[in-house]
Amino acid sequence: MEMQPAAAVAFASVFVLGICFAILGSIKLRLAEKLDIDDEKAGSLISALMFSSMIMILIIGPLQDFLGYKPIAIVGFAAAGICLWLLAAAPSYGAALGACLLLGVGAMCVNTSGNTLAPQVMFGGDNPNAALNLNNVFFGLGAFLTPLLVGKLIKKLGYKTAVSAFGAICVVPILWAIPMSYPETQGFAFADYINWITHPAVLVGGIALFCYIGLESSMGGFITTYLKDAGYEEDSAGNWLSGFWISLMIARVVAALILSQVDVPGGAVITGLAILAIVAIGIMVTAETKKAGALGTILAGLSFGPIFPTIVGVTYGKSAASGSVFGLIFAIGLLGGVTVPYLIGRYSARLTIRKSLKIALGVAVLLTVINLSLWLVVPAA
């Protein structure tokens, strides 16, 4: 497993990204109490992060192609840490909203640097699917450990100190990001960027990410609701949610190991996993016992794990492993993260969470079809 030292920056980047995406949900109740805001305003802070991320990813991707990996990674670590410090000290809803908007800058800097650097510095630069699966295990670690630890830290140290501690964790990687040597980026040309916007691989890869990110964010947001409805107590439902994230991480480790040893087309991997996701969500929709619902939840985590990094790897293979390409496909993907959970939540309020998961089932079917198009129909650049 050949890796350059800069792989440490890629690992740290997506780990910090996991913190950025998990922190607001983890502290939402305490933050709402501190600022004396209702659930709608607390939810709008998460929406602000997602909105900022959608805008910034389109800017940061080309900027990295122009400036290189180092400045974007350093700015990302610094901005993420500073924004969490601002959030910890925010005296009002407006201040917290500003911190969340700025957090989108830091999150998308580390997102871009981590997911474009990894294919260049791992596995000799020849296996983007294995590299991205291994790298995104660290995203899962960040997203999993943040809610697990922040609650305990708040109880022991208080809200402000606990959130500030996570800000410090985000800043620490600067210590090895500064002296590190990085590969050259491809440079930025506006004409090339325009061509990528209309390139079939970028468009279809982006739609595939729309489906996947919509599914992952929906499962992350509604698994506890689903399992409570199925008959589990709140604590048990939370434990199964942790099991979902652990399953996702394990699947990425296994995929990285297999793809580093066996030459399997990424499109075939995604197809098999997307079909497994259909089965998993189908079990959740039709489960007659709470144990069957929990089984579907874990199976969903196992099927989801390698899909995101492998979609990115396949898209790179048919276009380019550049910040511009990643920014475009991830921006489209984030739209799925906003749209699909909204639809599931809306229909859950009208019907039931179990019935609303039929939307996720349809998205999983669509993901399978879109991936087959990306794999078998879309030509390489």
pLDDT tens column, 304-329: 999 999 999 999 999 988 999 999 99
Domain boundaries, the chain: 1-188, 189-381
Q: Read off the pLDDT of residues 144-196 as tens digits, 9 standing for 90 and up.
A: 888 888 888 988 999 999 999 999 999 999 999 999 999 998 777 777 888 89
Give percent above pLDDT 90 in the chain: 66
Kindly state the average pLDDT of the residues 240-245. Answer: 87
**CA torsion, ordered 172, 177, 180, 181, to nearest 10 deg:** 170
Residue 380 has pLDDT above 90, yes or no: no
Closest CA to 80 of 62, 100, 64, 51: 100
**For residue 238, what pLDDT is reported?**
79
More confident residue, 3 or 62: 62
189-381 homologous superfamily: MFS general substrate transporter like domains (1.20.1250.20)
Per-residue pLDDT, 39: 65
CA 247, 215, 47, 58 dihedral sign is positive
Whether the pLDDT of residue 90 is over 90: the answer is yes
Pick the CATH number of 1-188 from 1.20.1250.20, 3.40.50.920, 1.10.10.10, 3.40.50.10680: 1.20.1250.20
Residue 381 has pLDDT above 60, yes or no: yes
Mean pLDDT of the 349-373 span: 92
Residue 80 · residue 107 · CB < 8 Å? yes
pLDDT category of residue 237 using cuts at 50, 70 and 90:
confident
Burial of 338 (0-12, 13-18, 19+ CB in 10 A): middle
Question: Rounded distance, CA 247 to CA 273, Å?
Answer: 13
Q: What is the mean pLDDT of the chain?
A: 91
Is 189-381 the same fold as 1-188?
Answer: yes
